[in-house]
């Protein structure tokens, strides 16, 4: 006897969520491309107390991960993005030549939700900085908190740690037609649009697994081939 065919019916709630996400991503991309027609605007958050998991005793918010949100793939049907929801990892960029076997700095990556080491971040209210919990120091390094910022070298725009001249990052709230949009997002200098690309065959030194590299988009840069456009959201916001 032939088996009856199964049909899958999406609930009205699921359909609404999918449509809302797609509409927001489209509006976000339009606003990024045509600033003079923005229906979206952003507001900087200047105090850690407004971020998730804030502790008034320590003046720290977090820790939390950051994640890909409202990701858009311009070459895929309906803009579907394969890394939606992936979270933060990190990698080491180089070791100091004058201090052999010493981890000096690195950058924040995006990694799969499966079997990857996640990198936590926090907002340090005592220093008013966003920090990441990463390996540093001699030998294999030890985990410690380091301020993160944007490396505005023309070829990167990456979210880095261990570089004192990096541009500070902060959290932002988005509004659409005057109404707040769910979530808090990382950015710098009133820019919250990011691009993400695969590192290809490279694997992270921290866990020897594939990763993606986010870079902050600024007016002087444009999306490249094989990059996704996205927001970077604070998980739990």
The structural domains of the chain, with segments of one domain joined by +, span: 12-234
Task: Supply the DSSP string of 34-85, one letter for each residue.
Answer: -GGG-SEEEEEE--GGGSTTEETTTTEEEEE-EEEEEEE-TTSGGG--TTTT
Quote the CA–CA distance of 86 and 211 in Å, as a whole number.
10
CA 234 from chain center: how many Å?
A: 8
The alpha-carbon radius of gyration of the chain (Å, integer) is 19
Please tell me the predicted confidence (pLDDT) of residue 40.
Answer: 80
**Residue 163: which residues within 8 A CB-CB, separation 6 or more?**
105, 149, 151
151: which 2 tokens? Answer: 């490396």
Global pTM value: 0.79
Token pair in block for residue 135: 């390996």
Round to whole Å and give the CA distance between 158 and 217.
10
Q: Is 37's pLDDT higher than 80?
A: no
Is residue 72 within 8 Å of 29, Cβ to Cβ?
yes
- Write the CA distances from 100 to 58, 138, 141, 160, 225, integer angstroms: 35, 8, 12, 21, 37
- The 10s digit of each residue's pLDDT in 72-126 is 988 788 788 888 988 888 766 555 566 667 788 889 998 886 667 789 999 999 9
Nearest Cα neighbor of 52 from 60, 40, 44, 43 is 60
| pLDDT at residue number 206 | 64
**What does the pLDDT look like over 106-121, one tens digit per residue?**
899 988 866 677 899 9
């Amino acid at each position: 006897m032939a088996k009856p065919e199964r049909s899958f019916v999406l609930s009205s709630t699921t359909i609404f969520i999918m449509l809302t996400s797609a509409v927001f991503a489209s509006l976000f991309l339009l606003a990024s491309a045509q600033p003079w027609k923005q229906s979206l605007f952003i507001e900087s958050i200047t105090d850690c107390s407004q971020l998730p998991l804030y502790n008034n005793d320590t003046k720290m918010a977090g820790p939390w991960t950051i994640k890909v949100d409202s990701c858009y793939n311009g070459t895929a049907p309906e803009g579907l993005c394969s890394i939606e929801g992936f979270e933060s990892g990190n990698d080491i960029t180089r070791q100091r030549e004058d201090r052999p076997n010493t981890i000096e700095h690195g950058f924040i990556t995006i990694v799969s939700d499966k079997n990857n080491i996640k990198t936590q971040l926090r907002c340090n209210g005592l220093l008013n900085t966003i920090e990441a919990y990463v390996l540093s120091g001699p030998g294999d390094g030890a985990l410690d908190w380091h301020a993160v910022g944007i490396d505005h070298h023309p070829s990167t725009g990456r979210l880095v740690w261990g570089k004192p001249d990096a541009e500070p990052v902060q959290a932002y709230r988005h509004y659409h037609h005057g109404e707040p949009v769910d979530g808090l997002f990382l950015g710098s200098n009133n820019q919250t649009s990011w691009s993400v690309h695969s590192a290809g065959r490279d694997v992270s030194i921290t866990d020897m697994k594939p990763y993606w590299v986010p870079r902050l988009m600024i007016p002087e840069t444009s999306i490249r081939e094989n990059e996704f456009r996205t927001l970077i959201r604070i998980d739990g916001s």
